Chain A
Amino acid sequence: DIQMTQSPSAMSASIGDRVTITCRASQGISNYLAWFQQKPGKVPRRLIYASSSLQSGVPSTFSGSGSGTEFTLTISSLQPEDFATYYCLQHYSYPLTFGGGTKVEIK
């Protein structure tokens, strides 16, 4: 099974900060990686697919990069509505696996 190690597991940041979240795969997954945002009590929504493609309707302050085993989700300027938990997902091989999540809180 491919393990997805997400870091950090939690972080505090201020409005306007640049935020970077990392996912590391235990083996190469090409670009078969997606990023999701989940707010408390809400349904997850996809932000990024194919490692770097922005989902329609998602602000351009979000971006993704990486290939192989190292992936990054970047929020260029944190907004109030961005405080949430973020998950990565590899869909390169079964079982599909999510990262453990990164909770982004207000500093």
Chain B
Amino acid sequence: EVQLVESGGDLVQPGGSLRISCAASGFSFSDYWMTWVRQAPGKGLEWVANIKEDGSEKYYVDAVKGRFTISRDNADNILYLEMNNLGVEDSAVYYCASDVRLGNWGQGTLVTVSS
């Protein structure tokens, strides 16, 4: 059974940093692109970033370029999202999902940016 388990969400002050993680199991993690998607409270879904199977290609939504970094550890089957210079507009539930077609989703981790 595919499992994606996010962790690391927290309350952070504006301008702060945070790294969230997604532990994958039940599938061959290193064979799949991986994705981060976020959802602000009461809002729709927003794609955030993608990373290729070997980490050689990464793509970001403009709103996070230069501030967020997606990475992965294929040895330990973990996906990361390093978030810097956080703003209140980054407050959301962050989901990891498998592939670019988002076939499987984790339960999400809540990031709140507030003073």
A interface residue numbers (CB < 8 A to B): 34, 36, 38, 43-46, 49-50, 55, 87, 89, 91, 94-101
B40 vs chain A, min Cβ distance (A): 13
Contact partners of A45 in chain B: CB under 8 A: 105
A-B contact pairs, 27 of them (CB 8 A): A34-B101, A36-B45, A38-B45, A43-B106, A43-B107, A44-B37, A44-B95, A44-B105, A45-B105, A46-B102, A46-B103, A49-B101, A50-B101, A87-B44, A87-B45, A89-B47, A89-B102, A91-B100, A95-B59, A95-B61, A95-B62, A97-B47, A98-B44, A98-B45, A98-B47, A99-B44, A100-B44
Tell me if B47 and A43 are in contact (CB < 8 A): no
Query: How long is the Cα–Cα vector from A100 to B43 in the complex, in angstroms?
Result: 9
Residues of B in contact with A (beta carbons under 8 Å apart): 35, 37, 44-47, 50, 59-62, 95, 100-103, 105-108
Q: Which residues from A are CB-within-8-Å of B59?
A: 94-95
**How far does the Cβ of B5 sit from chain A's closest Cβ, in whole Å?**
12
Closest chain A residue, CB of each to CB of B59: A94
Question: Which of B60, B101, B106 is A46 in contact with, Cβ under 8 Å?
Answer: B101
Closest-by-CB residue of B relative to A44 is: B105
Q: In the complex, what's the smallest C-beta–C-beta distance from A93 to chain B, in angstroms?
A: 10
Contacts of A87 in B (CB 8 A): 44-45
In the bound complex, do residue A43 and residue B95 qualify as a contact, i.e. CB atoms below 8 Å apart?
A: yes
Chain B, Cβ-Cβ closest to A56: B103
Contact of A96 among B100, B106, B108 (CB under 8 A): B100
Contacts of B107 in A (CB 8 A): 43
Q: Which residues of B contact A43 (CB under 8 A)?
A: 95, 105-108
Residue in chain B with minimal CB distance to A6: B44
A97→B61 CA distance, assembly (Å): 9
Distance between A84 CB and nearest chain B CB, rounded to angstroms: 13
Which B residues are in CB contact (< 8 Å) with A97? Answer: 47
- Min CB distance, A6 to chain B, in Å? 9
